């Protein structure tokens, strides 16, 4: 089965291929003989309900600094391709949301991975709150009195933007932190949305586990350990990836949320778990495939494409 696969992503020329999960997906798609098309979100259009993109044919290779060759851009009717990979990075803003509305017009006749309507309806730090019994105590608010009450109850907390990503603007705030007032003012001026305030989990120093679920089933994991004097485990912030296995609690978490993710058409999902606490369910552009393989785990790009192809007629 030869497919035409269009990928909506940030400019492929600029990615760091050693850790890029989208690139791993494209390498495997090309290995299977699929035709690749690349476009960025700003080149997505809709005219009279016809959704198109100015897309370039792409040839990829696992060579750092020489990883892609792009052909001449042409207007492609996305209803005529087999699969669209929705893979641009957040921020999850109105521009991102608008692309999900447009892609919803072609799905599922053209399979969009992940299902764009449910990507739109499942922001990582909000969707996870459907499972409070799996999470640390969490407040979504920008009301200072609510945040003060939460801090009095739980002591040290973590504050982060509701629609942030990659560990940006994540702060630990102690119960009596003299910087809290200034941090509250900074967040108020910077973010229009509410924020996430969670009880601080001291065992973050032992790692933040990224678990990949493919079509609702746990398929592999890495443990991301923060750098010294940092609470952020994201690898783009200096976190170190370590091989890991799943604990019984983590298996329970995956088995609890997996059926709903499958029902929602979220084929490629990355969840974050700290000390047995689910903190995020990432559906927009999850990462981890290349790190898992590099550390001796399975090549999940193969598993992922098997799942995608199984959903096509």
- Which residues are known to be catalytic? 125, 160, 210, 224, 232, 272, 280, 282
The answer to whether residues 44 and 102 touch, using CB atoms and an 8 Å cutoff, is yes
Q: What is the 3-state secondary structure (H, E, C) of the chain?
A: CCCEEEEECCCHHHCCHHHCHHHHHHHHHHHCCCEEEEECHHHEEEECCEEEEEEEEEEECCCCCCCEEECCCEEEEHHHCCEEEECCCCCCCHHHHHHHHHHHCCCCCCEEECCHHHHHHCCHHHHHHHCHHHCCCEEEECCHHHHHHHHHHHCCEEEEECCCCCCCCCEEECCCCCCHHHHHHHHHHHCCCCEEEEECCHHHHHCEEEEEEECCEEEEEEEEECCCCCCCCCHHHCCEEEECCCCHHHHHHHHHHHHHHHHCCCCEEEEEEECCEEEEEECCCCCCHHHHHHCCCCCHHHHHHHHHHHCCC
Least Cα distance to 226 among 218, 236, 234 occurs for 234
């Amino acid at each position: 089965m030869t497919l035409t696969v269009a990928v909506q992503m940030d400019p492929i020329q600029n990615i760091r291929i050693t850790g890029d999960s989208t690139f791993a997906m494209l390498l495997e798609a090309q290995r299977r003989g699929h035709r690749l098309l690349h476009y960025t979100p700003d080149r997505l259009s809709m005219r009279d309900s016809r959704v198109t993109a100015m897309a370039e044919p792409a040839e990829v290779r696992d060579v750092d600094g020489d990883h892609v060759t792009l052909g001449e851009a042409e207007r492609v009717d996305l209803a005529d391709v087999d699969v669209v990979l929705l893979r641009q990075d957040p921020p999850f803003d109105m521009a991102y949301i608008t692309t999900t509305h447009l892609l919803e017009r072609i799905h599922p006749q053209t399979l969009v991975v992940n299902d764009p309507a449910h990507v739109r309806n499942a922001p990582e730090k909000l969707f996870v709150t459907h499972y409070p019994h799996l999470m640390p105590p969490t407040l979504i608010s920008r009301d200072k009195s609510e945040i003060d009450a939460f801090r009095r109850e739980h002591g040290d907390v973590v504050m982060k933007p509701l629609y942030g990503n990659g560990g940006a603007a994540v702060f630990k705030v102690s119960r009596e932190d003299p910087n809290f007032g200034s941090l509250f003012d900074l967040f108020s001026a910077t973010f229009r949305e509410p924020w996430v305030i969670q009880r601080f989990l001291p065992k973050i120093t032992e790692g933040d586990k990224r678990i990949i679920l493919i079509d609702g089933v746990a398929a592999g994991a890495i443990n991301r350990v923060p750098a010294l004097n940092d609470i952020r485990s994201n690898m783009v912030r200096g976190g170190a990836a370590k091989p890991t296995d799943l604990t019984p609690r983590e298996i329970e978490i995956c088995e609890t949320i997996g059926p709903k993710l499958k029902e929602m058409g979220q084929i490629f999902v990355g969840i974050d778990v700290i000390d047995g606490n689910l903190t995020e369910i990432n559906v927009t552009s999850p990462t981890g495939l290349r790190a898992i393989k590099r550390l001796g785990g399975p090549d999940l790009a193969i598993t992922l494409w098997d799942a995608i192809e199984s959903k096509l007629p």
